[in-house]
Chains A and B, each alone.
Chain A
Amino acid sequence: MNMPRFWREIQGRYNLIGSRCGNCGDYFFPKRDICPKCHRKSIGKMDAVKLGGSGKIVSYTVVHDAHPEYSDMKPYVMAIIELDEGVRLTSQIVDCSPEEVRTGMRVRATFRKLAEDGKEGVIFYGYKFRPE
């Protein structure tokens, strides 16, 4: 990923900044400008909100065949996580062996290195999750 493209999403990736619809109150991640439920009524009312970072695993897999920038972590666990606010995201699960991971398991966000743009390039940081 190119540096400017990563940089402009730092707030989402470092701090789980999403949106909350001022009309219906639903949470979204990443940030959105339009609520898919309220449409026009939500425009201008999608407020930035920091998500708590705790949730549970909806589904997961252990990745054996990874893109080269991610292969140092092989085999690693990828999961869809539902945060307590009701929004879902995709993240790695770290600090536990793949055998320990279960659907429904409680997890919490942590700060890790995601990838780097080669040996000379910038380093990309962001959330991964670990057992709560």
Chain B
Amino acid sequence: MRDVAVIGIGITKFGELWERSFRDIGIEAGIKAINDAGISGSDIDALYIGNMSAGAFIRQEHVAALIADYVGLAQTSHIPAIRVEAAGASGAVAFREAFLSIASGMHDIVVVGGAEKMTDIGDEMANAVQGMAIDQEWETVFGATYASLHAMMARAHMEKYGTTREQLAMVSVINHRHGALNPDAQFRREINVDTVLRSGMVAEPLRVFDMCPLSDGAATIVLASMDAAKKFTDRIVKVRGIGQGSDTIALHDRRDITTIDATVYAAKRAYDMAGIKAKDVDVAEVYDSSTISEIMAIEDLGFFEKGTGGKAVEEERIALGNEIPVNTSGGLKSRGHPVGATGIAQIVEIVKQLRGEADGRQVKDAKIGLAHAIGGTGGTAVVSILEGCE
């Protein structure tokens, strides 16, 4: 396999972007990434788009062709444009597919984006669409919601490992603290444990501030073979490892609902490919669609021993300036979660950290970064490991 590098990144502001359409944000992120890479349209061999549910959110399918069209690549170079869907891991799986297309020798330069426009339909519908990642036939129809499944994971984790309600809240507190430093984040307001504990109940024990928001947003990355990369930039970030794993679609069929096995397997594959261990990671973006989701992630990724994630959060070992800064972008909770864009946005943040461009939230001497995304309640997980090359 050929070495692959990230040579350009672009991201929009995340949030309720009332004045911007799906194509507006998709194009904005794409142009930023292309400019950042210093490439031109004719250099691009293929386009990958991570998107969960444009058909349900904006009644538009065929969105890869749509983006290729509006970035001006359809009518001239007629490049292949591919949409990838894996619920919340759509962007991350698109990144992996784009990586493989270069590593295999098929392409030299590929643009991979992620985009979701969630606010054009009402909150109720948007929540229902987001919930389509869980088993519609055997979970949703019986009254389960996305949040309710996370709540059951949270209760099981609390009962098995003694994780506390306050530890869950601290995940949100730290992510908001980080997000306040990110100009592209949806919520740039610091909160405290009381903010979380006083927010409305969603599914016991999880409250509004335990759950990520509905968001609009897009992010784009330019990937190149290492040889091609060197022609355009010296700010090269190498993709050292990528792992993906799957598990049952329904939460109830999992071996253990306090662990996301898909993450465990994805991480093992990524670490093995990169030839590193969890302790070698300097900065990570993990999937915090709920606060319990982040606690399980930092355990399943091997940053902390199983069952001690809550305590690690309480001790702020994942906060900026400490042992292993996690979600310096603010995570899904504070940066926002336009579902299909999230996997790409996480890598954009890691690239910024590895390039030393993360400004007020820069992790000092960050060399190796990790991004982790999940689809549904854990039916898909992707772990990507990147390394900054000076």
Direct contact of A and B (CB under 8 A): yes
Q: What residues of chain A have their CB less than 8 Å away from a CB belonging to chain B?
A: 1, 5-6, 9, 13, 30, 58-68, 70, 73, 75-76, 78-81, 88-92, 98, 103, 114-115, 124, 126-128
Knowing A88-B253, A115-B141, the reply to whether A65 touches B155 (Cβ < 8 A) is no
Does B145 sit at the interface, judged by CB under 8 A?
yes
How far in angstroms is the closest Cβ of chain A from B237?
38
**In the docked arrangement, what's the CA distance between A126 and B138, Å?**
11
Looking at chain B's contact residues, is the secondary structure mostly helix, strand, loop, or mixed? helix
23 inter-chain pairs at a CB distance below 8 angstroms, sorted by A residue, are A30-B137, A60-B155, A61-B152, A61-B204, A62-B201, A62-B203, A64-B202, A64-B203, A65-B145, A65-B203, A67-B127, A67-B128, A67-B131, A73-B143, A78-B142, A80-B252, A80-B257, A90-B138, A90-B139, A103-B156, A114-B141, A114-B143, A128-B142
**In the docked arrangement, what's the CA distance between A65 and B153, Å?**
17
Knowing A60-B155, A61-B152, A78-B203, the reply to whether A66 touches B252 (Cβ < 8 A) is no
Q: Is the CB of A90 within 8 A of B202?
A: no
Does B359 sit at the interface, judged by CB under 8 A?
no
Does B251 sit at the interface, judged by CB under 8 A?
yes
Q: Is the CB of B251 within 8 A of A78?
A: no
Does B389 sit at the interface, judged by CB under 8 A?
no
**In the docked arrangement, what's the CA distance between A60 and B140, Å?**
15
CB-CB contacts below 8 Å: B193-234 with A: 200-206
Knowing A62-B204, A63-B143, A124-B141, the reply to whether A80 touches B251 (Cβ < 8 A) is yes
Knowing A65-B145, A67-B127, A78-B144, the reply to whether A59 touches B257 (Cβ < 8 A) is yes
Q: Is the CB of B131 within 8 A of A65?
A: no
**A76 nearest CB neighbor, chain B only:** B143
The residues of B that contact A66 with a CB separation of less than 8 Å are: 143, 145
Knowing A59-B155, A65-B202, A80-B152, the reply to whether A90 touches B145 (Cβ < 8 A) is no
Which one of B127, B138, B143 contacts A70 once the chains associate, using CB atoms below 8 Å?
B143
**In the docked arrangement, what's the CA distance between A91 and B145, Å?**
11
Does B111 sit at the interface, judged by CB under 8 A?
no
A-B contact sample (16 more), CB < 8 A, given A78-B143, A80-B152, A115-B141? A58-B257, A59-B153, A60-B155, A61-B151, A62-B201, A63-B145, A65-B202, A66-B145, A67-B128, A68-B124, A78-B148, A80-B252, A90-B139, A90-B144, A103-B156, A126-B142
**B257 nearest CB neighbor, chain A only:** A59
What 7 pairs across the A-B complex have the smallest Cβ distances?
A: A61-B151, A59-B152, A88-B252, A62-B204, A59-B156, A64-B201, A61-B203
